[in-house]
């Protein structure tokens, strides 16, 4: 059966679509699959988030670029389309540790919706610029190879004008062009950010032979407890200095300082948050003069507006209460005090040196 006049173009668009999907899938699975696997093994928070949010975007970018480029037999169109697509891929990969994790947090934790839990910082912005430029330079090669492979796939089509198994297999030759740049971007973008969590996990699990259990949390049996590692903060210029929280399943939280791959020290932090909440309640009872927070000066920062708000809650915060740690993502910790009257005081803290009280709210 002879092909109709429109069949070659249809096959080119279909093969271009397949090429783009293959490239996007291979790139995403490499750039975030490795990161997800390492973070999951290290008990890192939201280990899956970058892959879950970013992979559909790369599939969309790849599919759109491949289908559009497949409409033309001109190599220049392929080069131009994939150059722009490469820059966009680099931007997406670089934003996932920040925007992607923010989005996942907003979905999982409504109380933190709209909060910039994972700010990008200058180091992240510099890596974004590099990834965009690097991938845009790779783009022309991806475009030229795609043009050749799509023509080959079209030539291997069945006599009735359909993509054959050999046609689809020919498109797989793009895999090295996706895997190698993705590995480089993982090394530049993701590895520095996960290094702190990985260092703490190795210390806890005993993988680091020169780090004892007592260095991580004195008098606490770490090896028998489940935990999640939160990236609280980092040096925005280099990413070398990081603060990592170890949140154990029984409620204890330990704050660790990491320099590069080396764990410096860890100290319990959850008792401090409970003490700060108790001091805030006392502030409400005494009129918000700041006197109850004097003992915690330098470790927690509370604004005058919050003190005045607490003073206005004097009638609501009386009586017995129970303090609990509701949730944590990144450097944001949500604490609550539940009173026998039914009143609930909720406060949002963030940061490390000092910890900043962002705001408090109350409801009956």
Shared domain check, 176 and 221:
no
- Output the domain CATH number for residue 296: 3.10.450
Counting beta carbons within 10 angstroms of the beta carbon of residue 98, is it exposed (0 to 12), middle (13 to 18) or buried (19 or more)?
buried
Running DSSP on this structure, what letter comes out for residue 290?
S
The most confident of the ranges 91-95, 106-110, 144-148, 340-344 is: 91-95
**Is 351 contained in some domain?**
yes
Burial 335-345 (b: 16+ CB within 10 A, else e): bbbebeeebbb
114: which 2 tokens? 């709209």
pLDDT for the residue 163:
58
Report how far residue 205's alpha carbon sits from residue 211's, in angstroms, rounded to the nearest whole number.
10
Shared domain check, 205 and 71:
no
**Is 1 contained in some domain?**
no
pLDDT for the residue 136:
96
The most confident of the ranges 49-58, 70-79, 317-326 is: 49-58
| Strands 344-350 and 355-363, sheet pairing | antiparallel
Q: What percent of the chain has pLDDT over 70?
A: 87
Report how far residue 299's alpha carbon sits from residue 246's, in angstroms, rounded to the nearest whole number.
19
Q: Which residue has the higher pLDDT, 183 or 155?
A: 183
Domain boundary among 244, 268, 292: 268
Per-residue pLDDT at 165 exceeds 80? no
Write out the H or E segment, with its range, that includes residue 338.
Answer: strand 332-339
Shared domain check, 212 and 149:
no
Q: Under 8 Å CB-to-CB from 316, ≥6 apart: which residues? A: 284, 339, 341, 343, 345, 362, 364
**In the chain, how many domains are there?**
3
DSSP-assigned letters across all residues of 120-149: -HHHHHHHHHHHHHHHHHHHHHHHHHHHHH
Shared domain check, 275 and 245:
no
**Is 187 contained in some domain?**
yes
DSSP lists the bridge partners of residue 328 as: 333
pLDDT for the residue 208:
42
pLDDT for the residue 3:
38
Shared domain check, 207 and 160:
no
Shared domain check, 293 and 262:
no
pLDDT tens figures, 91-124: 999 999 999 999 999 999 988 999 999 999 899 9
Shared domain check, 155 and 85:
yes
Shared domain check, 184 and 120:
yes
Q: Under 8 Å CB-to-CB from 107, ≥6 apart: which residues? A: none
Under the banding of pLDDT at 50, 70 and 90, the label for residue 157 is: low
How many CB atoms are located within 10 Å of the residue 64 CB? Answer: 16
Shared domain check, 281 and 256:
no
Q: Which residue has the higher pLDDT, 160 or 339?
A: 339
pLDDT for the residue 211:
45
Q: What percent of the chain has pLDDT over 90?
A: 57
How many CB atoms are located within 10 Å of the residue 155 CB? Answer: 11
Q: Which residue has the higher pLDDT, 13 or 316?
A: 316
Report how far residue 145's alpha carbon sits from residue 307's, in angstroms, rounded to the nearest whole number.
63
pLDDT tens figures, 35-58: 999 999 999 999 999 999 999 999
Q: How many CA atoms lie within 13 A of 262 on its CB side?
A: 3
Tokens 């059966």 correspond to 1
**Is 102 contained in some domain?**
yes
Domain boundary among 268, 300, 319: 268
- Mean pLDDT, rounded, for 241-265: 89
**Is 58 contained in some domain?**
yes
pLDDT for the residue 24:
95
**Is 231 contained in some domain?**
yes
pLDDT for the residue 289:
76
pLDDT tens figures, 209-231: 444 455 554 434 544 568 999 99
Shared domain check, 292 and 334:
yes
Shared domain check, 300 and 256:
no
**Is 2 contained in some domain?**
no
Structural domain boundaries, residue 229: 199-268
Per-residue pLDDT at 61 exceeds 50? yes
pLDDT tens figures, 261-274: 788 888 999 999 99
Shared domain check, 35 and 173:
yes
């Amino acid at each position: 059966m002879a092909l109709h006049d429109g069949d070659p173009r249809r096959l080119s668009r279909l093969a271009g679509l397949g090429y783009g999907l293959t490239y996007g899938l291979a790139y995403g699975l490499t750039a975030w699959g490795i990161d997800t696997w390492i973070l999951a093994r290290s008990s890192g928070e939201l280990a899956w988030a970058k892959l879950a949010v970013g992979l559909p975007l790369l599939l969309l970018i790849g599919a759109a670029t491949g289908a559009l480029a497949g409409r033309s037999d001109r190599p220049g169109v392929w080069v131009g389309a994939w150059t722009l697509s490469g820059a966009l891929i680099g931007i997406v990969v670089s934003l996932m540790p920040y925007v992607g994790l923010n989005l996942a947090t907003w979905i999982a934790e409504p109380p933190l919706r709209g909060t910039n839990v994972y700010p990008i910082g200058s180091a992240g912005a510099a890596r974004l610029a590099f990834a965009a430029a690097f991938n845009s330079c790779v783009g022309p090669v991806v475009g030229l190879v795609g043009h050749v492979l799509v023509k080959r796939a079209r030539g291997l089509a069945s006599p009735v004008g359909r993509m054959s198994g050999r046609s689809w297999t020919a498109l797989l030759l793009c895999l090295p062009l996706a895997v190698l740049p993705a590995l480089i971007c993982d090394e530049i973008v993701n590895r520095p950010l996960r290094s702190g969590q990985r260092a703490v996990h190795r210390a806890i699990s005993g993988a680091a032979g020169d780090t004892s259990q007592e260095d991580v949390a004195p008098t606490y049996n770490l090896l028998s407890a489940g935990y999640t590692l939160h990236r609280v903060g980092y040096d925005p210029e280099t990413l070398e200095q990081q603060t990592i929280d170890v949140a154990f399943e029984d409620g204890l939280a330990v704050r660790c300082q990491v320099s590069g791959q080396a764990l410096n020290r860890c100290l319990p932090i959850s008792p401090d948050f409970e003490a700060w909440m108790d001091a805030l309640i006392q502030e409400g009872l005494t009129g918000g003069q700041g006197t109850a927070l004097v003992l915690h000066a330098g470790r927690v920062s509370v604004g005058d507006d919050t003190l005045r708000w607490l003073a206005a809650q004097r009638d609501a915060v009386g009586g017995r209460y129970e303090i609990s740690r509701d949730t944590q993502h990144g450097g944001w910790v949500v604490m609550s005090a539940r009173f026998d009257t039914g009143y609930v005081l909720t406060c949002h803290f963030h940061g490390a040196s000092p910890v900043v009280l962002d705001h408090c709210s109350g409801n009956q």
